[in-house]
């Protein structure tokens, strides 16, 4: 039975379960179960603390898992990233009081509060700075006000929490994070169940970015219309019963759908329909 680790709580948990469900896996919990068995696909989904998942995978206890790239890097576990999953996006950055002129190059001898000490230790070592790391499990942004630290290093999503705490980000981004599928090494790709899961997940991720557009256009305007909707390889063109007209089907970027519809209509296309793609294999 293949074992796959999923975050049991936090920002990554709900999106991880939703992605796997769309890929055809049974992994929903009805309570606080630690393990959900998908008998059809012969997989045990194990719900673990997001911070611990890389350690379980790195030690070979769990086959593969979903966690944040920031948590994976900070764990220093011996794992590899198999697939970025395009949710849970965040940036890891330094922050100081909004009226401060502190920048990372001035952190020497100061106290930096963080929940990710290994990421910060590696960065300050690279800068040649000696600072005291104050490890906290949460609420890092309040540590400066409470006198625990002079600066912080933390995950930033919208930045609203930092602003509310009277802080501002400084310096370069230390790490750009998102949810990732990880394994001990890439030898796991020899496992058919893992290879199949990767293919299914890629199909869902592509489908979330693309949509299918269908439209009718006069034959003499086909070239101009196809320039707007070239598709991934080329659009599908079929003759219509109406003389001089053809039907076109192509994949387009979902976020560009409305602009593409506008352009097609201006060219002379009619009957333009955009539909969702649930999943695909390319």
Distance of CA 68 to the CA centre of its chain: 8
Domain final position from 175, 199, 223: 175
Whether residues 129 and 169 share a domain: the answer is yes
Q: Per-residue pLDDT averaged across 97-114, rounded?
A: 94
* Domain CATH for 169: 3.40.190.10
Mean pLDDT for the stretch of residues 118-122: 96
- Confidence bin at 138 (pLDDT 50/70/90): confident
Flag whether 204 is in a domain. no
Residue 212 exposure: Cα atoms within 13 Å on the Cβ side: 11
What sections of the chain are H helices per DSSP? 11-22, 50-58, 69-75, 117-127, 160-164, 192-209, 222-228, 257-267
- The pLDDT of residue 205 is above 80: yes
Averaged pLDDT, 12-35: 93
pLDDT digits (tens, 9 = 90+) for 146-202: 999 999 999 988 778 888 889 999 999 999 999 999 999 999 999 999 999 999 999
Indicate the number of domains in the chain: 3
Q: How far apart are CA 217 and CA 215, in angstroms?
A: 7
Residue 202 lies in a domain: no
Burial of 116 (0-12, 13-18, 19+ CB in 10 A): buried
Same domain, 134 and 27: no
Other CB atoms within 10 Å distance of the CB of residue 155 = 20
Q: Is residue 128 part of a domain?
A: yes
pLDDT computed for residue 181 by the predictor: 98
pTM: predicted TM-score of the whole model, two decimal places? 0.89
Arithmetic mean of pLDDT, 117-144: 93
Share of the chain above pLDDT 70, in %: 100
Predicted pLDDT of residue 260: 98
Within this chain, do residues 6 and 57 fall inside the same structural domain, yes or no? yes
Question: Quick check: 70 and 29 in contact, CB under 8 A?
Answer: no
pLDDT at 233: 87
Supply the CATH number for residue 223's domain: 3.30.70.120
Boundary residue ending a domain (190, 220, 241): 190
pLDDT at 143: 94
Average pLDDT, the chain: 94
The per-residue pLDDT for 21 is 96
* 224 and 250 inside one domain: yes
CA distance 181 to 64: 7
Cα 248 to chain centroid distance, Å, stands at 32
Q: What pLDDT sits at residue 282? A: 83
Domain that includes residue 145, residue range: 90-175
In a domain, 16, yes or no: yes
Q: Is residue 272 part of a domain?
A: yes
Average pLDDT over residues 94-100: 94
Residues 109 and 214 in one domain: no
């Amino acid at each position: 039975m293949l074992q796959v680790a999923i975050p049991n709580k936090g920002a990554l948990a709900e999106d991880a379960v939703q992605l796997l469900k769309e890929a055809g896996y049974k992994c929903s919990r009805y309570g606080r179960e630690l393990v959900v068995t998908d008998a059809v696909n012969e997989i045990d989904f194990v719900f673990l603390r997001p911070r611990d998942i890389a350690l379980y995978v790195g030690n070979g206890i769990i086959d593969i898992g979903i966690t944040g790239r920031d948590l994976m890097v900070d764990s220093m576990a011996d794992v590899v990233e198999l697939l970025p999953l395009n949710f849970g996006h965040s940036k890891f950055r330094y922050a100081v009081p909004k009226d401060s002129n502190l920048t990372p190059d001035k952190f020497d001898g100061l106290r930096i509060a963080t929940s990710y000490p290994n990421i910060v230790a590696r960065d300050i070592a690279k800068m040649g700075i000696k600072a005291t790391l104050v490890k906290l499990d949460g609420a890092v942004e309040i540590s400066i006000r409470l006198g625990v630290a002079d600066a912080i290093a933390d995950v930033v999503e919208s930045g609203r929490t930092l602003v509310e705490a009277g802080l501002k980000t400084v310096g370069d981004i230390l790490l750009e994070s998102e949810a990732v599928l990880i394994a001990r090494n890439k030898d796991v790709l020899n496992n058919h169940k893992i290879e199949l899961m990767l293919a299914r997940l890629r199909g869902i991720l592509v489908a979330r970015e693309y949509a299918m557009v269908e439209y009718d256009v006069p034959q003499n305007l086909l070239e101009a219309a196809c320039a707007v909707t070239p598709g991934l390889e080329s659009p599908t063109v079929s003759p219509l019963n109406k003389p001089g007209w053809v039907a076109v089907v192509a994949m387009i970027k979902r976020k560009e759908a409305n602009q593409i519809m506008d352009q097609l209509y201006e060219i002379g296309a009619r009957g333009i329909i955009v539909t969702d793609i649930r999943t695909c294999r390319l």
